[in-house]
A and B are shown apart, each in its own frame.
Chain A
Amino acid sequence: MAEPRPVLEMTGIVKEFPGVRALSGVDFRLFPGEIHALLGENGAGKSTLIKVLTGVHSLDGGTITLDGQSVRFASPLQAQQAGISTVYQEVNLCPNLSVAENIFIGREPTRAGRIQWKQLRRKAAELVDRLGLDIDVTAPLSSYPLAVQQLVAIVRSVGTGDSVAEGSGTKVLILDEPTSSLDRDEVLELFALMRRLKEQGVAILFVSHFLDQIYEVCDRMTVLRNGTLVGEHMVSDLDQVGLVQLMIGKALDQLEELHDHQLHSGVGEPLLQADGLGRTGGIAPFDLEIKKGEVIGLAGLLGSGRTELARLLFGADQPDSGKVTIGGKQVSMSAPNDAIAAGVAFCSENRKTEGLVPDLTVRENIILALQAARGWTRPIPVSQRDELVAKYIKALDIRPANPEARVGQLSGGNQQKVLLARWLITQPKLLILDEPTRGIDIGAKAEIQKLVVSLSEDGMSVLYIAAELEEVLRLSHTIGVLRDRRLVAQIANGPEITTSRILETIASGEHQ
């Protein structure tokens, strides 16, 4: 079979950052009408390849041809005008504009120079609806969880697949970890959309750390390791084991370990007790008890209130009913400080806006929570600080292992690890993890899950939220099921509990 001509070809791509060679001589090609996976560990250079292609970063070497013509984009706008639509890894929208405005910003429907607001809202509602999202497009974007924001970014860049036919001119669609915070249903919607576009001849570049997803939608894959190309294969020619081996350069066996369901040690006396805690518009009043050393996993669909529940337990939002007692003492929960003082830590799902301070270094970001708890007058002694930071950089394998590196310059997965390190270092009694493995590669993900298990064995309680139900099921003693912003069931985990049992509960809203 004669291969068609690639729509995009990159050869010998080199990109250097101070002290880091992010890409050294990478070749990459993309054919029309294919879904092409770009794979590699955290920091392998996937996002960087996308950014040099689309003109976010300048190129230090190599050539790019689009449709047979040599190109070099000076800005993302140019790339877009040439037909490359990109959804970057970190959602880049305007949180205080409405969903509709975000979708159409810069290309609002106008008549006689005036924006047709009604039409804009209607169109936006249609677009969102086709993706199976039930949201109010006139509400500000920031009022929705990250997953919705991610979908809005996707809708913004491609419409729903029909607009391409109408001549938006997209030849190449790039999705950098679009599924990292989506639930199964949204993933399926997204895949359907990707397939529609593929049929229309759009070439799609897809980045994900979920290997199952790769095997589900992709035709071809390119694997990077440490900024070099290690291979391009048809998905059908390489199985998962072979792929993982390519990605990390050695066989991965610890993964299997976790799969044999480790239900660990028992739990201790009650630690936290929430009575009728609730917030209008957030989550209906709920009762929840968390014991010492217990891992509680939260399951539910997008928008079911998992994050809202977690935020209430941390005082990130103020509850308007109920009370919380921790270790027998009532805690006011009027601000995160109160919860932190009582030994609660909260690792937000949204590391960019609610987590990291991009301008500060890895070290500064890691010690921030601990330092805030000590107050400004008592800096952590330098030697102790450096020791702690080095310990956690090593334990979580943060790369580059340079405490002086600016966090904003780390790859997405490594930023996530910094956020984890920040809270681990405070040795909380209750650790709330909202999507802690978002954007983390397969090896590190197993490491983090093992870490949760061992923390719980050491007596730390964990509230664990993850889009992947298997992940929740694997780690939790108890599974809290949420539906329509209500905690509908709390199920003790056991051999008879399966993902389908949980899904049933989510669907029916009750637990038999």
Chain B
Amino acid sequence: MTTTSRWRALTHHQLFWPVAVLVVLLLVNIPFTPDFFSIRMSDGHLYGSLVSIVLFGSPLILVAVGMTLVIATGGIDLSVGAVVAIAGALACSYMSGQADQNALSGVLLAMGLALLAALVCGLWNGFLVARMGIQPIIATLIIMVAGRGVAQLITDGQIITVNSEPYKLIGGGYWLTLPFSIFVVAVVVAVTVALTRRTALGLLVESVGGNAEASRLVGIRSRRIKIMVYVFCALCAGIAGLMISSNTSAADGNNAGLWIELDAILAVVIGGTSLLGGRFSIGGTVVGALVIQTLTTTIYTIGVPTQTNLVFKAVVVIVVCLLQSPKFRAKVFGTKGRGRATGPAETAAVAEAAPKMEVSR
């Protein structure tokens, strides 16, 4: 195999563009923060920009991983931000009512309550989408709007602060020199990958998203699968909600997880999963979420004026999406087709079209 074909195989790998963008974004920081890549140890904890990107990106990664499966079935879940808020609010308000906030049992119970609420939200979404046949965007809009109201009801419109050592661990604590949330994320990602790729769940999800009618005729119980992914997505959002409130030791029904659904959807798309459903990539989503978080960090380090924050973010996102379009690359870089040309009907799924075969020529 020649180097050029090896290069081609590499650039056609589905993770190539997301990773490339991530690396570029990281490098952009160096002129502004020369010690951007350095990691120091203090108090037995690791500190540094890279560590904080992962730390602050953790909730987003969780939500985006859950979102990936929902999107792969051809759906979307707009309610994750509200679920984040509900989970945080429930956990904190329960704990704040406890005499001893540091009691492990109380903390565990609070977390259990929060996750139970998330599960109920997921079941509701799944029920509306799979049983009632409501468009996912509408079905999940209900909790997106009403859920925030519920969160505020729980917190009584206040910001509830807690002071609990064990609770602090999930989103703000350290373990083995690293932020504890990194381990939570690692476990969730590993479980998701195992659940989808070690079993046939991933295949069935991709089939339902790739062709719903064909999947029905092949005997896939797509309702069950859809309910499962909405529940899973809500659970991920619930864990993210715990993480966020633990990090700030407070529950803010109004602002916790605000707009996280949009960042999560972006992360999924950047990771190469088509919004039309079908093929999905958990690894891609993790990279996508890191890209978004790095972008947010970068905006602060290079000192983009706050008013133009969102515009800057939007521009980067547009660039990333364009880079992922083979059509765009062919136009700009002139790598005309060379096999990547796809029919008009297929272009929507191009992000996944990366050939697995190696071409020797």
Which A residues have a C-beta under 8 Å from some C-beta of B? 16-19, 51, 56-58, 60, 75-76, 92, 314, 316, 335-337, 340, 346, 348, 353-361, 364, 367-369, 371-380, 402, 404-406, 408, 422
Contact = CB atoms under 8 A, between A and B. Distances in A.
Given A17-B339, A19-B355, A57-B341, A372 B210 contact: no
Given A17-B339, A57-B343, A408-B346, A357 B211 contact: yes
Contacts of B343: 51, 56-57
A337 B221 contact: yes
Given A337-B221, A358-B349, A405-B357, 17 more contacts: A16-B338, A16-B339, A58-B330, A58-B341, A60-B337, A60-B338, A76-B344, A336-B218, A346-B217, A353-B211, A356-B214, A357-B214, A359-B206, A359-B352, A372-B221, A378-B200, A379-B199
Interface in B188-237: 198-201, 203-204, 206-207, 210-211, 213-221, 225
B355 A368 contact: no
B199 A92 contact: no
B279 interface: yes
B217 A359 contact: no
B353 interface: yes
- 6 tightest CB-CB pairs across the interface, nearest first? A357-B210, A18-B339, A18-B355, A340-B219, A58-B337, A359-B278
Contacts of A348: 217
B154 to A, nearest CB: 35
Nearest to A351: B214
B218 A372 contact: yes
A359 B214 contact: no
Nearest to A52: B341
Interface residues of B, number: 41
B359 interface: yes
B207 to A, nearest CB: 5
Contacts of B221: 337, 372
B99 interface: no
A92 B343 CA distance: 12
A434 to B, nearest CB: 11
B213 A92 contact: no
Contacts of B219: 336-337, 340, 369, 372-373
Contacts of B329: none
Contacts of B198: 379
A388 to B, nearest CB: 14
Contacts of A56: 343-344
A230 to B, nearest CB: 24
Contacts of A367: 203
A374 B203 CA distance: 13
B355 to A, nearest CB: 4
B207 A357 contact: yes
16 contacts: A16-B339, A19-B357, A314-B217, A336-B217, A353-B213, A357-B207, A358-B210, A359-B210, A360-B278, A364-B206, A369-B219, A372-B215, A373-B219, A374-B200, A377-B199, A404-B356
